[in-house]
Amino acid sequence: DADVTQTPRNRITKTGKRIMLECSQTKGHDRMYWYRQDPGLGLRLIYYSFDVKDINKGEISDGYSVSRQAQAKFSLSLESAIPNQTALYFCATREDMNTGELFFGEGSRLTVL
Amino acid sequence: QKEVEQNSGPLSVPEGAIASLNCTYSDRGSQSFFWYRQYSGKSPELIMFIYSNGDKEDGRFTAQLNKASQYVSLLIRDSQPSDSATYLCAATSGTSYGKLTFGQGTILTVHP
């Protein structure tokens, strides 16, 4: 089983719908991240969290919200999806050290029509 | 200005050549730098990290860091077609502990 699991892997929805992307991890890391990837734009940070009470906005948090339900679970919500939120979304975890690498989930491809 | 910028691609090199990937960062407080490789449709995977000025070598890969110039590079020696991928540079934040910011990526193609 993957250490970082994202669900759903693919989702097509309509403008205005509420969408939740879920992430769970078995690595025991406190740090969890949500990134968005668009062609030519690399990975852009949406939100990151150090524990259930510590959630921080990233570069592009507008239109998104998150919930850290437990150390192992970090969910990303789009309250009212719009077409320019069509992208590939990655969840990642990281060791609590400055040289710690990110461990990524397999990604969730979201299409908003 | 983006916090982390990579040289525009795509980059194409012949098999066996050296591929040079470059990255600059704007946050002088950044301490650690990472190079990730991402194959099409897959998740990024770590190639190397570096946090001290100078060179760090791992097999065919060499990362170079120059904090005075705020510059990080990745050299791939003896490039192989299997190295064809998108390469992502990332840097930690000097002000927001734990934040990791990526550049836009450089697409590398190694042709036989």
The predicted structure's pLDDT at residue B8: 72
- Per the CB < 8 Å rule, is A56 touching B99? yes
CA distance linking residue A24 with residue A7, whole number of Å: 9
Size of interface A-B (CB pairs under 8 A): 58
The closest CB to that of B103, out of A42, A94, A98, belongs to: A42
Searching chain B, which residue's CA lies closest to the CA of residue A47? Answer: B99
The predicted structure's pLDDT at residue A93: 95
The predicted structure's pLDDT at residue B2: 75
Report B:20-79 residues touching A (Cβ under 8 A). Answer: 31-32, 34, 36, 42-46, 49, 51
- Answer whether residue B96 shows pLDDT above 90: no
CA distance linking residue B43 with residue B63, whole number of Å: 21
Question: Who wins on pLDDT, A63 or A96?
Answer: A63
- Per the CB < 8 Å rule, is A50 touching B6? no
On whether any CB of chain B is under 8 Å from the CB of A3, the answer is no
Parallel, antiparallel, or unpaired for β A108-112 and A10-13?
parallel
The predicted structure's pLDDT at residue B80: 97
- Answer whether residue B23 shows pLDDT above 70: yes
Question: Who wins on pLDDT, A11 or B9?
Answer: A11
> If pLDDT is split at 50, 70 and 90, which confidence band does A1 have?
low
User: What are the pLDDT digits (tens) for A22-78?
Assistant: 999 999 999 999 999 998 888 999 999 998 999 999 999 999 999 999 999 999 999
DSSP A19-56: EEEEEEESS--SEEEEEEE-TTS-EEEEEEEEETTEEE
- Exposed (0-12), middle (13-18) or buried (19+): which is A104, by Cβ within 10 Å? buried
- Answer whether residue B85 shows pLDDT above 70: yes
Cβ contacts (< 8 Å) between B87 and chain A: which residues?
none
The predicted structure's pLDDT at residue A2: 72
Token output for B88:
């992502």
- Answer whether residue A99 shows pLDDT above 80: no
User: What are the pLDDT digits (tens) for B50-82?
Assistant: 999 999 999 999 999 999 999 999 999 999 999
- A94/chain B closest Cα distance in angstroms: 9
- Answer whether residue B99 shows pLDDT above 90: no
